Amino acid sequence: MRWQGAPLGGSAQLPASKSESNRALIIQALAGGGQLRNLSDANDTELMQRLLAEPATAPKLNAEDAGTVMRFLTAYLAVTGRQVLLTGTARMRQRPIGVLVDALRELGARIDYTEQEGYPPLQLQGWVPELNEQEPAELSVRGDISSQYISALMMVGPQLPGGLRLRLTGKIGSRPYIRMTQSLMQHFGGQCRDLGEVIEVRPQAYHAADYTIESDWSAASYWYAMVALAPAGSTITLPGLRQHSWQGDQAIVRIMAQLGVATEFSEQGVTLTQVPVGSGVELDFTDCPDLAQTVAVVAAALGVPLVLTGLESLRIKETDRIAALQTELAKFGGALVDEGAGRFRVPVAAFQVAGQTVETYHDHRMAMAFAPLAVRGPLTVLAPTVVRKSYPQFWKELRKAGFEITEQA
């Protein structure tokens, strides 16, 4: 793929938020109704819809490579008493789920591991609650691995006889996703209070409600990258984004203001405009880990020194994203240096785009984080269909914007 050379302009369509969509689908199922508008067309969301629609007698469900589907469905199937095998791809069977399973077992779920202890596949054997109906169930859960475990437990909390009191221990990552879960629960009638280290969920049944999903700020980040790297005068309009958003990845507004992109909000969405680049920055990605790859690539290409922290969860994503970034940045002359104690550095280097081939490691965000480099020179992205996981129309939108993309046999 390559860029035509002119400044970027026009508008681009974003997918709806996968994070909002998958949470809303679980809560809708527990509520027993309500209309969800603008659901994501991402593979993960379509997969969630299909699996939720499977008959209760289905002996096996396959979450494929979708982390939210595996984790949210584990909790949903447990509290609804399903007896089913929940499995996934080879990579999914390497992604830990013990923290969530241990918590659900404490609540009364009967769950067995069919292969490696602590990892899918899971055999769910039903629900045998031994809970006091007058008191909330109390759990302690680590907050430093994945907020999806916490969100999964929160969403099923109203189904418990006395509700749920969830105590979070250690460093809590991706807190905006916890707040998103709380907001969606409340929209559907759930009573949930975030007290910092403790989350309280009342045994208040959900009620059917309608909801319109916002466009995806994670997907918007790739257009921020393109504006930052494109010729002077570049701009793009992205409809469907809200200034007051529940999505933690709206942090891209603040982050990219330091890397050469200004954001203007309107009733329709946002307009991105290229502005002067800062001289260097240190960023904590604890609350927005899905932005780390994109930002690291932009900083390396712009020659802006960057320090990154809060990357702990990147090791257990679709691939080891830290290792993948280190390998692929090196092809362009860049680097991601591990300085220890959770700090990584992108140094100023002789970065050049000149026909390199980018491996994507079965990871949609690797493909989309490196694709914007095409505005600086030609490059090849392997296994481009991985974008179907979150942004199926990504390559189509790039063509509309003026990228020349040739599919290789």
List the one residue out of 153, 50, 38 whose CA is nearest residue 105.
153
So what's the pLDDT on residue 10?
95
Write out pLDDT tens, residues 18-71: 999 999 999 999 999 999 999 999 999 999 999 999 999 999 999 999 999 999
Band (133; pLDDT cuts 50, 70, 90): low
Q: What is the pTM of this model?
A: 0.88
Write out pLDDT tens, residues 284-320: 999 899 999 999 999 999 999 999 999 988 887 889 9
Burial classification of residue 370, based on how many CB atoms lie within 10 Å of its CB (0-12 exposed, 13-18 middle, 19 or more buried): buried
- Tokens 């860049």 correspond to what residue? 334
Instruction: Looking at 141-195, list the stretches that DSSP marks H as alpha helix, in order from N- to C-terminal side.
Output: 147-156, 175-187
> Rounded distance, CA 164 to CA 132, Å?
11
DSSP bridge partners of 340: 343
Binding residues: 18-19, 23, 67, 95, 146-148, 174, 290, 317, 321, 365, 389
Position 356 pLDDT exceeds 70: yes
Write out pLDDT tens, residues 92-119: 999 999 999 999 999 999 999 999 999 9
Structural domains of the chain, with CATH: 2-16+216-404 (3.65.10.10), 18-212 (3.65.10.10)
> Which are the catalytic amino acids?
290
Binding residues for phosphoenolpyruvate: 18, 67, 95, 148, 321, 365, 389
